[in-house]
Amino acid sequence: MSENRSRTNEPDVEGVRLQKVLSQAGVASRRAAEQMIVEGRVEVDGSVVMELGRRVDPETAVIHVDGTRVAVNSDRTHLLLNKPTGILCTMSDDQGRPCIGDYLRERQGRLYHVGRLDVDTEGLLLITNDGELAHRLMHPSYRVLKTYLAEVPGPIPKGLGRELRKGVELDDGPVKVDSFKLVDVNDGRALVEVVLHEGRKHVVRRLLKQVGHPVQRLVRTAIGDVRLTSERPGAIRPLDRKEIGSLYRAVGL
């Protein structure tokens, strides 16, 4: 008996029915998934499938619904960690310093963190075993936006956003932000939101220092459409179907 059949208890045929794969992935009930299929909303490996008898291998099939990729391979892990400050962004540390691997010990299999946050930076870190997705999310050519909240000394001059959008010269080349916003001012300090698709080391700290506003606290709040919500520091949660779909879409998978 093949692996698929033993896992799904389906009769002696290859693969799993497409509507069952979709319902197991949480897209819709099996009946609603059938409707989506006959309406031509489902693609398997780049081709629209409109017949209900179609069987697929959930471990290898690339399935899109309404143009958005659906994660159907149950071996894939997509997690969000709210990284606390003081934690190294490595899976293990030979000097025994606290690192993000400490939060993932009980998770099975090899996991990767998508990019890095400085030891003093907090916030959203994606963790996955989906190598191609991780690679593309980190690569600047896919222009996936990362959003940061930075606490800096105020006041913030009026033209700062324009200057940052135009580009600022750093030691290793120019950097431009995609957007900049003053969020709050309190007691001589300002809270600013910086959005950019760059992943260079310390880029937000170096950029804001260069324009005279050294960072006192830095939190990453979003990658693409995936946002930190109310996770406490150190908390981990699985991404939901929409979040995973939005990441795949952002990098053309």
Known catalytic residues are 118
**Under the criterion CB under 6 A, does residue 121 sit at the interface with ligand URA?**
yes
**Under the criterion CB under 6 A, does residue 83 sit at the interface with ligand URA?**
no
Q: How far is the CB of 206 from ligand URA (least distance, A)?
A: 6
**Under the criterion CB under 6 A, does residue 33 sit at the interface with ligand URA?**
no
Which residues face 218 on adjacent strands? 150
Q: How far is the CB of 121 from ligand URA (least distance, A)?
A: 3
- Cα–Cα distance measured from residue 142 to residue 239, given in angstroms and rounded to the nearest whole number: 20
- Cα–Cα distance measured from residue 132 to residue 233, given in angstroms and rounded to the nearest whole number: 27
**Under the criterion CB under 6 A, does residue 204 sit at the interface with ligand URA?**
yes
What residue type is 63 in one-letter code? I
**Under the criterion CB under 6 A, does residue 117 sit at the interface with ligand URA?**
yes
What residue type is 178 in one-letter code? D
- CB-count burial class (<10 Å; 0-12, 13-18, 19+) for 150: buried
**Under the criterion CB under 6 A, does residue 88 sit at the interface with ligand URA?**
no
Binding ligand URA by CB under 6 A: which of 55, 189, 202, 217?
Answer: 202
- Cα–Cα distance measured from residue 246 to residue 244, given in angstroms and rounded to the nearest whole number: 5
Q: How far is the CB of 112 from ligand URA (least distance, A)?
A: 17
**Are the beta carbons of 152 and 208 closer than 8 angstroms?**
yes
Q: How far is the CB of 218 from ligand URA (least distance, A)?
A: 6
Cβ proximity to ligand URA: between 49 and 204 the closer is: 204
Question: Helix axis angle, 131-138 relative to 241-250, nearest 10°?
Answer: 60
Q: Which residue ranges make up the site for ligand URA (CB under 6 A)?
A: 117-118, 121, 202-205, 218
